[in-house]
């Protein structure tokens, strides 16, 4: 039987907009296929040994929570996490977690707060809050054989820009994305995905969940041939309604279902 160990960074502090749902989705879609999953919280002061984990998750938090964990994250866990990322550890980082993996965050007062530098991205404080439902088109998921459209909810004022060493997770169809300017959302580097999509993003997007699980299982088990197909009819219907609504194809759905 296949087994996965998932590390959840600061679950008590970084859990904005129900990001715990991402862990639940990863665990449920694994266990439904007979894959045993162990979830380990990684909190303040805890040692982080990347070899213990097959996938790690870093959620979003308000500025207050990010300040609490910043020193511990950068000084105590950062070097090990950077090394693990270069060795293809599978990582999902959402909103504040996404920003922390970047080079820096520049505040409205022009103060630069250092990030981990694991991703070639940087964030600058904006004057306008980018909030609402979002729909993107992901070539990465399409190439991997999954549904290419990803839905979620974003709420951030930081504007993130991508350097040449990363690729976007997708192009924005509806919403703001990384910065509301270049039509890009998220960043991909090796087996790391950073995104502003809350909501939680994985329960709304089974294909993205399965993509991450596949990366982790293939890295751990050379003989892994692929995930068993699940019945996602219900998820497909819900997603279809939301996608139609956000892409402008379903105004009648707004009247009848929302």
| Angle subtended by helix axes 206-220 and 20-31, to nearest 10 | 70
For 208-213, the CB contacts below 8 A with 24+ separation are 208/138, 208/141, 208/146, 208/150, 209/25, 209/26, 209/29, 210/29, 210/146, 211/140, 211/141, 211/144, 211/146, 212/26, 212/55, 212/90, 212/92, 213/4, 213/26, 213/29, 213/30, 213/35, 213/55
Task: Show which residues are catalytic.
Answer: 95, 198
């Amino acid at each position: 039987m296949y087994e996965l160990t998932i590390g959840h960074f600061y679950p008590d502090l970084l859990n904005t907009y129900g990001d715990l749902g991402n862990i639940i989705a990863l665990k449920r879609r694994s266990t439904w296929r007979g894959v045993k999953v162990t979830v380990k919280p990684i909190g303040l002061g805890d040692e982080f040994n990347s070899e213990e984990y097959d996938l790690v998750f870093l959620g979003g938090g308000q500025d207050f929570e990010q300040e609490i964990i910043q020193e511990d994250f950068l000084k105590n866990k950062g070097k090990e996490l950077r090394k693990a990322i270069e060795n293809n550890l599978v990582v999902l980082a959402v909103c504040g977690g996404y920003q922390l993996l970047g080079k820096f965050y520049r505040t409205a007062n022009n103060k630069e707060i250092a990030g981990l530098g694991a991703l070639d991205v940087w964030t600058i404080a904006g004057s306008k809050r980018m909030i609402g439902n979002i729909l993107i088109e992901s070539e990465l998921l399409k190439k991997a054989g999954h549904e290419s459209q990803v839905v979620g909810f974003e709420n951030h004022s930081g504007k993130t820009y991508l350097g040449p060493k990363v690729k976007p997770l997708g192009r924005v169809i509806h919403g703001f994305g990384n910065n509301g300017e270049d039509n890009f959302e998220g960043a991909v580097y090796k087996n790391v995905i950073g995104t502003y999509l809350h909501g939680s993003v994985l329960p709304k997007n089974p294909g993205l969940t399965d993509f991450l699980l596949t990366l982790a299982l293939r890295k751990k088990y050379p003989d892994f041939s692929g995930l068993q197909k699940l019945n996602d009819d219900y998820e497909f219907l819900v997603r279809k309604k939301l996608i139609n609504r956000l892409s402008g194809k379903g105004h009648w759905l707004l009247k009848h279902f929302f």
